[in-house]
Amino acid sequence: MSIETNEFRPKIVAFCCNWCSYAGADLAGSSRLAYPADVKIIRVPCSCRVNPMFILRAFEKGADGVILCGCHPGDCHYTTGNYYARRRMTLLFSMLDYIGVENGRTRVEWVSAAEGVKFSQTMNEFVEKIHSLGKNVRLGDLRCKN
């Protein structure tokens, strides 16, 4: 299978917390559960480390989708980090939706270290969703209005 050059290849950034989701991604790997290579993972200590500015930055630099994965509520390694992340991301996503960014481009998913299958499934779904939305033009670097 060769890569078609004109085919849409989304850029997807996945922030994964070190304790659950990054380990979940590792498990997906060791279980050979494939998901598209468009997903690139950035390791953060906790979902609460993810600043909304990182997400906007990714979009600014041309990302087509950004997903944040952390420990399930109640299981945070730092006990409360994902609760804060949950509120922050809810408000941020709502704002992005409000200014006209398609809300499928952002997602939060709780993935435990044991959920390799869920990690892989989530990434497959997310990539598919981004494919259906197409290239991110709204939040991309528009340079000028018209």
Nearest distance, CB of residue 97 and other proteins, angstroms: 5
DSSP 131-146: HHH-S--SSS---S--
Which of 4, 6, 29, 134 touches other proteins (CB under 8 A)? 29
Q: Write out the two tokens for 47.
A: 């979902």
By rule CB under 8 A, what count of residues binds other proteins?
81
CA 54, chain centre distance (Å): 11
Q: CB 125 → other proteins: shortest distance, Å?
A: 12
User: Does 26 engage in binding with other proteins (CB under 8 A)?
Assistant: yes
Shortest separation between residue 20's beta carbon and other proteins, angstroms = 10
Per-residue DSSP letter, 126? H
Query: Should residue 23 be labelled a site residue for other proteins when binding is judged by CB under 8 A?
Result: yes
Minimum CB–partner distance for residue 6 and other proteins (Å): 16
Contacts of 107 (CB under 8 A, 6+ apart): 65, 66, 67, 68, 122, 126, 129
Contact pick of 8, 34, 134, 135 for other proteins (by CB under 8 A)? 34
CB 46, CB 19: distance < 8 Å = yes
Please enumerate in sequence order all residues whose Cβ is within 8 A of that of 146, keeping only pairs 6 or more positions apart, or say none. Answer: none
Looking only at residues 73 through 132 of this chain, which bind other proteins when binding is defined by CB under 8 A? 73-75, 77-81, 83-84, 86-104, 106-108, 120
For other proteins, the binding residues in 37-66 under the rule CB under 8 A are: 37, 40-46, 48-54, 56-63
